[in-house]
Amino acid sequence: MRFLLFLPILLTLGCDLQRSQLERVQHAGELVVLTRNSATTYYQGPFGPTGLEYDLASGFADFLGVKLRLETPDTLPAILTRVQNGYADLAAAGLTITEERKQVLNFGPAYQHITPQLIYRAGRRAPKSLADLNGTLEVVARSSHAEMLRGLQQTYPDLSFQENPELESEELLYLVWEQVIDYTVADSNEVAINRRFYPELRVAFDISAPEPLAWAFPPGEDTSLLDKAREYFDSLNQSGKLAQLLEHYYGYVSDFDYVGTRRYMKHIKERLPPFRQWFEDAAALTGEDWRLLAAVGYQESHWNPKAVSPTGVRGIMMLTRNTMQHLGITKSRHDPQASIEGGARYLASIKKKLPERIQEPDRTWLALAAYNVGFGHLEDARILAQQAGADPDKWADVKKFLPLLSQKKWYKKTRYGYARGREPVRYVENIRSYYDILVWMTSQDRLPEEVAPAFKIDTPAL
């Protein structure tokens, strides 16, 4: 009788063991993926779940016709151990392919190349090589960086470092910035993103040549799921989707401006507090994120309510007289509350004009380009993109065609003609960085407290 009770369970286990890894995923109807919470992999952004690894994993689940289940173990060693023991279908966590890891894991095709870099803080003497270090070097435990440094100890016998089993790379970058530790090693993509938040971080030198990142799969001869991943990445490469994703996540952070970022951080503390409530009010009125509106205001005027451009636009949000009148706002453009409300309403009106099929965050980036260069010129660039076989609904594609509007060969084919098309590209990319910094400061509870605004409007005119 007891055997009969266990018989269905035994039969189920037997069937499951006979299935390939791919068949088990399809039978379960879900893909279990291990990843990390970080800016380069997966996080909850203002527009929902985001990150390069999230987008890639979500796309792979769709490719297989199953649901995605993400799990985020606390540490890198936990991720590696769990996928090695078969407790997940794969790890999509920005993992470098290394010789040690290849002994215990299967790897998919490389989808990105990064360079490990030695990082220190401004104010210290810049080391020229690993033999020149004078202080504490700490890296993530079981990371590719630790493996690399162990190998380099043969060349640099005095090289010493500590492996931290609890912290991630971004947290070690923070410790360098706080001067708790002297050095760390981080991948170039992580450095590019985090230097906007910690502008005093410096790259001393590259530790090695560029290295490949890839997904890790459980070890063994069953490569059915891995083979499907190869098909998936082949399709991403052939369609240009992979290049589009890399451009989306890293294209706007490649030009790091140390001086500009330091000035922005200073202005957040000194200039933003009296305007914050008005940005929040305008956000509540339009449904926009107040931090996005603040980023637009900073790009336009550096939060200067008396700003005037040579073309006649003025105020914090740099609006024209006609725009204010069209929006029904009769107060002066130098009135910061009126200007902020006007800018928010104008941006919202542009977003409504875009086709409904365009999803966030591309919808916002395209609308910002139109805020700068005009809706007609944006449409011209989208048409050029479509004619060239690119995606007119993706900012990563459209931004390649906006600069063509300044070339006669191209703008003579468009409805609205010439435009200084490079300006909206730089405009949007700057705002994205300003916005990222405000979102990050909010998450870290680092924004200064609001203060009551007190402004005298000297100019009654619109």
Known catalytic residue: 300? yes
142 closest CA partner among 79, 92, 77: 77
| Residue 6 domain flag | no
| Residue 309 domain flag | yes
Give residue 423's domain range: 258-443
Q: Kindly report the CATH number assigned to the domain that includes residue 42.
A: 3.40.190.10
What gap in Å lies between CA 417 and CA 406, rounded to an integer? 9
| Residues 136, 101 share a domain | no
User: Active site residue: 138, 170, 247, 300, which one?
Assistant: 300
pLDDT (mean) for 262-267 = 92
Is the confidence at residue 326, as pLDDT, over 90? no
What gap in Å lies between CA 344 and CA 289, rounded to an integer? 10
| Residues 201, 224 share a domain | no
Whether the CB-CB separation of 164 and 138 falls below 8 Å is answered with: yes
Tokens read off for 393: 């609904």
75 closest CA partner among 125, 139, 149: 139
For 161-203, what is each residue's pLDDT tens digit?
999 999 999 999 999 999 999 999 999 999 999 998 999 999 9
| Residues 22, 152 share a domain | no
79 closest CA partner among 33, 44, 30: 33
How far lies 297's CA from each of 310, 339, 341, 344, 428, in Å? 17, 9, 11, 10, 12
| Residues 415, 324 share a domain | yes
For 69-78, what is each residue's pLDDT tens digit?
999 998 999 9
| Residues 325, 410 share a domain | yes
pLDDT (mean) for 26-48 = 92
| Residues 86, 47 share a domain | yes
State residue 187's pLDDT score: 96
What gap in Å lies between CA 330 and CA 338, rounded to an integer? 8
- Number of domains present in the structure of the chain: 3
State residue 460's pLDDT score: 44
| Residues 425, 333 share a domain | yes
DSSP 348-398: HHHHHHS-TTPPTTHHHHHHHHHHHH-HHHHHHHHHHHHHTTS-TT-HHHH
| Residues 302, 241 share a domain | no
State residue 307's pLDDT score: 86
Mean pLDDT of the chain: 91
Is the confidence at residue 6, as pLDDT, over 60? no
| Residues 241, 172 share a domain | no
C-alpha dihedral (92, 238, 63, 115), degrees to nearest 10:
0
| Residues 263, 244 share a domain | no
Of the CA atoms within 13 Å of residue 66, those in its CB half-sphere come to 21
For 14-32, what is each residue's pLDDT tens digit?
555 689 999 999 999 999 9
pLDDT (mean) for 302-327 = 85
pLDDT (mean) for 222-251 = 94
| Residues 384, 435 share a domain | yes
Burial of residue 380, with CB atoms counted within 10 A of its CB: 0-12 exposed, 13-18 middle, 19 or more buried: buried
Question: What sign does the CA torsion over 408, 254, 210, 57 have?
Answer: negative
| Residue 448 domain flag | no
Whether the CB-CB separation of 77 and 163 falls below 8 Å is answered with: no
What gap in Å lies between CA 434 and CA 238, rounded to an integer? 33
